[in-house]
Structure 1
């Protein structure tokens, strides 16, 4: 609004005195000021963008290098095996494992409840079995799928199996002792201790074996390729996000510069219109030849630097990190020292 009022004022003022002259190819002084103010504003926007992009390009290059290494490792694994991983996603497996865990909890809680009212011991044991057995089945199934080729895996497999089975038997025995004591105190049992113990161990072993089978079919026979694939996909998503943010900032700042150019052209057009109207009111029908030329305001290049330059611009982490919100807010502020020549777009 400030510059549009100035366009109205100087347009009438210059038109009254016949400025610019008809044969003068130079821009009117007011147009030159608008042009200079637009250039100054665009330079500020471009400078803010360059400062931000220098840091973002460093992150971009680092992420790109990390992605390249992740892909090289993944590609080597594919060439070594002569195939890609057989696992697309573990999401379905985790759902199945969660269902097995809930089934473990329900089975344990119901069987314990047949002895009488639930107690804190029942709840603790139920939670332990719900988490422990599916987790043990997960590792056992994975060890089996990998073929137990490594001595360390064989030892771990044996230990996990022993712990899982021993845990089930121990819980059943402890519960049996607890309920035997309760029976001696006059509490009635719905089923015999032997039947309950056998039922408890059988059902939970069945679910434990089910978790082993699910884990076996969910994993790849190679212990590394799926992890390499996940690492590559994770780095690829991070790379895409950084690139998108970088391009978004570039497009935003370029759009702001283009908006400054359009606003400057509109102000110059308004100045010329008021200038000519004032001339015609005074009977001066001559149109300055400089008004026939469209104003040309150049926008600096917003192209990204080359990868080699990006690599040279890697900065230490202690350097100031420019927040995009700050950059956008500061880029179009008026320079107080040059307030009369700044464009308030």
Structure 2
């Protein structure tokens, strides 16, 4: 690395700690700061960097990884405290922060917003992972006075942690993340909230579908309140469109519910169109390594819920010379058995089925 030698991370939660872990072993000297001494020391003990008070204060880049509602204040303070450093942040909302910084009168030539499109349902330093950013998009959000040096240093950081740099204006970024991140969080939470009062017997029927839909509903309520407040206008606009579509579906279902045997003209086409348009949208999500979406074949294997069995399955698959593209794991209700869906290239499906059957595995069609 050429320009980036000393990095100061302010905020040692999931993102800040993961960033330090990703740079461990590199030529970058990482220092850590956090309002909580315990959080900062924990990140240090996990190997994310050195405590800021133990290193020279002069740094090349400050990366602010604080909660969204205080990012602008912290960025302004860091710009003042480190007059030779570039300052960036990793908040998932950019327009509101930039507006607040402009109002503060801070020197914004050394500031560039950024946003790694990576995260987990868990939070805090203990959830940090060195590979959190690997292969993930990291959006740079420059403004009209951002210096070339600011762009270069943050781009260098992005590449150093294995992420893929992209560039967007603040308003365009906020509209994009509203659609691909913030509204999905709202939708997942709304669906999951309907499970609260279901009888235990009903919850016991949960399969991979409801797990997929509600996975991110386990996210931090405080953090997500701040994110939604910061991007309220963009999120609200998409939710209005969603509400219009939902009202149409409700009308169709209500017409069918009044008399299931009735013709209910148009109702069935509404439902079919809903699923078909969902197919079209889902098909646009980038596939493996960001490549165009690919349709894979599924080979379903019943795996005993015992130590080493999943590893044995992967070993056998490798010995058959077939690459695993993706997988899903569910559990058979009432049985100590896992249902593993192996996603492979269509041409590999039949050879894999034959090979695994010959090795003693039970396959489900």
> Do they superpose with TM above 0.5?
no
Q: Between the two structures, name the one with larger relative contact order (CA 8 Å, sep ≥ 6).
A: 1
TM-score between both structures, scaled by the size of structure 1: 0.19
Q: Which has the larger radius of gyration?
A: 1
**Whose strand fraction is larger, Structure 1's or Structure 2's?**
2
